[in-house]
Chain A
Amino acid sequence: MKKINQKDYANYVNEKIPKPKIVKNCIWAFLVGGLICTFGQVITNFVIKYGLDKKAASTATPVILIFLSALLTGLGVYDKIGKRAGAGSIVPITGFANSIVSPAMEFKREGFVLGVAAKMFTVAGPVLVYGIGSSVFVGILYLLLKK
């Protein structure tokens, strides 16, 4: 009887363990992701204040965020944030830049063409393939439906 109870208890514990972790992860993701986006808004407002129109600002903001994230990845800071933040540091555009710099640094010893330049796109490549691919598909579909 006691053994069965212990097993049941173990199952019970196993069921219970991941839940608080997910909640904790989500809180971190929410806070860090939210902060990065708020920072993006600060940059957008800043560049608009200094004379860019809305369209130029919507290009300048990701460019600045990408630069900062690439720099922080190089310095090893971004991955430290990422350990805690999980998706909070992956889903923003800064995570996209991080996914470019990390493998590129890692594979530098394989050379500057097949190492750095090729490995930059291990994650960014698929993102561009599906992103650009689906946008062309949407464009053609829109053209057909418009007529």
Chain B
Amino acid sequence: MEYVKAFFVGGIICVIGQILMDKTKLTPAHILVAFVTCGVILTAIGIYEPIVKFGGAGATVPLPGFGYSLAKGVIEAVNKDGIIGAFTGGVQATAGGIAAATVFGYIMAVIFNPKSKK
């Protein structure tokens, strides 16, 4: 059941992205930025947390989930450290993902060459 929920919630979030791509002139870059920011805002106003509770990885794997981690990290850190937490919380909570993306991205880009596009 957990997997069905993840599939469903993740699928729906991707469909929203697809509709935005087809119906508007937004590029993938704009959509990624919009989704992360939406994730932060929706988490801050308490809407995204129930979606995560329901959908599990279906809500955390798509980019709004990245925003969710950022916002959740910030709020926890503010509760603990006050104003400093506002600056440290988000990056701290997502540090693993950011470092992995930087390191693995770099390694793969150095090892491999682009495949010719047909």
Contact = CB atoms under 8 A, between A and B. Distances in A.
Interface of A: 18, 21-22, 25-26, 28-38, 40-45, 58-63, 65-67, 70-71, 73-76, 79, 86-88, 90-97, 99-102, 104-106, 108, 112, 116-117, 120, 122-124, 126-128, 130-132, 134-136, 138-143, 146
A127 B31 CA distance: 9
A139 B69 CA distance: 13
A45 B41 CA distance: 28
Contacts of B2: 41, 45
A127 B36 contact: yes
A38 B6 contact: yes
Contact of B7 (A37, A62, A102): A37
Contacts, number: 282
Contacts of A75: 112
B82 A143 contact: yes
Given A90-B32, A99-B32, A105-B109, A135 B12 contact: no
A139 B87 contact: yes
Interface of B: 2-3, 6-23, 28-29, 31-33, 35-37, 39-41, 43-44, 55-58, 60-63, 65-67, 69-71, 73-75, 77-78, 82-83, 85-87, 89-91, 94, 96-98, 100-102, 104-115
B58 to A, nearest CB: 4
A44 B56 contact: yes
A136 B87 contact: yes
Given A135-B73, A138-B74, A143-B78, A93 B63 contact: yes
Contact of B31 (A58, A91, A117, A128): A91
Contact of A34 (B11, B33, B74, B82): B11
Q: Tell me the interface secondary structure of chain A in the complex.
A: helix
B62 A116 contact: no
Contacts of A74: 108-109, 111-112
B71 to A, nearest CB: 5
A29 B18 contact: yes
Contacts of A106: 114
Nearest to B23: A22
A105 B112 contact: yes
A104 B78 CA distance: 36
Which A-B residue pairs are the 7 nearest by beta carbons?
Answer: A37-B10, A33-B14, A139-B86, A34-B11, A74-B112, A104-B109, A135-B90
23 contacts: A22-B23, A28-B18, A33-B11, A33-B17, A37-B6, A38-B3, A45-B2, A61-B60, A61-B61, A67-B104, A87-B14, A91-B14, A97-B101, A101-B109, A102-B114, A116-B106, A116-B109, A127-B29, A127-B36, A131-B37, A134-B40, A141-B44, A146-B78
